[in-house]
Amino acid sequence: MKDVSVSMQEIEYRRYTLWFVYACIIYSIIGFSWGALMGGIPEFRHFVDHRAHGDLIVRGHTHVNLLGWVEMAIFAAVYYIVPRLVMRPIYSLRLVKIHFWIHNLGLIGMVVFFTVAGIAGGVASQTTDPAEVELIIRPFLALVGIFGSLVLLANCIWAYNLFRTCAGWEKNYA
């Protein structure tokens, strides 16, 4: 019988790596559905294409796909591959967990506030002059910036964790 003893830390690490995969799947379904709705519903497409700040809704869609679907897949793959490549465990499981939660919080905040700004700007542009519309959307875009900074922070945590995992890998061969 094969000994399959795995440490609790390794189980937790696998769990979080798989959570990145699951997040990738969820974000891809959201992003693909959102794109299909924008393309398939003429009123929605017209709003996005022809109203002031409707493009912000497209930015929300783009960020779901890029930072949700694509980046989460990359994170999962790299978290899986790198420890095997350097033949050592990840530097910090705690940083993996922090990365996951901060990235998701930041991404969801960005997408929500891009979308809210796009809707608010598009609706307000029907009856309000452009300078007032800018005042309406400005707080939402400030929040996009704040949540985007969380995503950047999460990516820096990821990079640091991987760098520390890889640094000195040659010593395993000495």
Residue 52's φ and ψ, nearest 5 degrees, are: -60, 130
Rounded average pLDDT over 8-30:
97
Top-confidence residue, 174 or 108 = 108
CATH 1.20.120 for domain 8-166: yes
Residue from 156, 63, 40 nearest 113 by CA: 63
Q: How many beta carbons lie within 10 A of that of residue 42, not counting itself?
A: 8
Triad 29, 32, 35: Cα angle to 5°: 145
- For residues 52 and 133, the answer to whether their CB atoms sit within 8 Å is yes
pLDDT in tens, 64-117: 999 999 999 999 999 999 999 999 999 999 999 999 999 999 999 999 999 999
- What residues does each domain of the chain span? 8-166
Per-residue pLDDT, 139? 98
Rounded average pLDDT over 140-158:
98
Angle between helices 71-86 and 93-124 (to 10 degrees): 170
pLDDT at 172 over 80: no
As a whole number of angstroms, the distance between CA 63 and CA 108 comes to: 9
pLDDT in tens, 49-68: 888 898 999 999 999 999 99
Return all residues near 9 (Cβ < 8 A) that are at least 6 apart.
89, 93
Percent of the chain with pLDDT over 70: 95
Rounded average pLDDT over 120-125:
94
